[in-house]
Amino acid sequence: MPGDVRSAFIGRTVVGAALEAHGLAPYVWPATHAVDELVAVTARMSPGKELYVSLRQRDDAVRLLVWDQHPHHTEPDLAALCETRRRRALWLLAAVVDDWGGEWGSGEAKSPQRGTKSWVQLPR
């Protein structure tokens, strides 16, 4: 989807519809909040660049992944500052995921992709 904060609404709508269609209605509230936050923040980290969103049910959990094209910083101080900035921006996501007993995080995308992958896992 486009790297624009308005894409958060699209992600929220699509994730909610997909969960409903697959009988996973109890996950609609936390997953739509999670995708909304992840897309909004990642769009600000790499504006104008495409974002990738994935939603899966696996191992008795719903897993959401958002990949953005914000490059990994090679200089340690800049990398730490960037990670701190991203984590602070995702405080609401952290609260929702914690309330559901889930996990979340972000890290450098593996080759051949470049950028950052942020993920959320919500247990059943």
| Inter-residue contact 46 to 5 (CB < 8 Å) | no
Q: Could you report the per-residue pLDDT of 101-120, keeping only the tens digit for each?
A: 999 998 888 777 788 889 99
- Which one of 3.30.565.10, 3.30.2350.10, 3.40.50.300, 3.10.129.10 gives the CATH number of domain 7-123? 3.30.565.10
Are 86 and 106 in contact by the 8 Å Cβ rule? The answer is yes
Please provide the average confidence, as pLDDT, over all residues in the chain.
90
Better pLDDT: 85 or 12: 12
Residues 31, 21 contacting (CB under 8 angstroms): no
Q: What average pLDDT does the segment 89-104 reach?
A: 94
Q: With 80 as the cut, is the pLDDT of residue 96 above it?
A: yes
Q: What are phi and psi for residue 36, nearest 5 degrees?
A: -60, -50
Place of tokens 């950052």: 116
pLDDT for residue 73 is more than 90: no
Q: Name the band, by pLDDT with cuts 50, 70 and 90, for residue 46.
A: confident
Please give the average per-residue pLDDT across 84-88, as a whole number.
87
Secondary element (H or E) of residue 119 = strand 116-123
Residues in the chain: 124
Alpha helices in 22-90 (DSSP H): 28-45, 76-89
The pLDDT confidence band at residue 82, using thresholds 50, 70 and 90, is confident
pLDDT tens-digit series, residues 5-41: 899 999 999 999 999 999 999 999 999 999 999 999 9
